[in-house]
Amino acid sequence: MLGKKLKEAIKAAGYTQEEFAKIISTNRGLINQWITGKRNPSAPSLKKISKALKLPITFFLDNSVSTGNITARDVNINSQNTVKMLEEKIKLKDEKIKILKERNDFLEDKIKFLESKKGKK
C-alpha cells in the first residue's frame, strides 16, 4: 500500500523517480524498491519523502486511506494549506512585534517622564 501511495504521490507532484530520488538524496533503485514493496523506507527517509511531497507521514502509513488516484490538485491544496498556516503564523508574529514595540515605546516614555521628575527635585 505504501508503494502505491508513494508512486502516485511522486507522479502527482510531477516528478520522475530519478528526479525524486535526487530531491531526497537517495537513488532511483531504492525508490523503486519502496514502490514495489521490496523494502520499506526508514523513518528518516519517510520524513524526507513527506516533506518533499508536502504530504503528512500518516498518508503513507495509514492503510485505511484510499489513494483514489492522487492528483496534482490534491498536492497543491495541501501546499496551499501549509502556506495559509505559515501566513497565519507570520501574522501572529507581526502582531506580537507590534505589541512589543508599543510596550517598548510606553516604557521609554515612562523612563523619560521619571527622569524629568528626578531632575526637577
Q: What CATH number is given for 2-70 in this structure?
A: 1.10.260.40
User: Residue 69 pLDDT > 60, yes or no?
Assistant: no
Distance CA 77, CA 90 (A): 20
The full set of domain ranges for the chain reads 2-70
Q: What pTM, to 2 d.p., does this model score?
A: 0.53
Identify the residue with better confidence: 119 or 38.
38
How would residue 72 be classed by pLDDT, with cut points 50, 70 and 90?
low
User: 104 exposed, middle or buried (CB, 10 Å; 0-12, 13-18, 19+)?
Assistant: exposed
| In the predicted structure, residue 49 carries a pLDDT above the cut 90 | yes
Model confidence at 65: pLDDT above 60 = no
Is residue 11 within 8 A of residue 4, CB to CB? The reply is: no
**What pLDDT shows up at residue 103?**
92
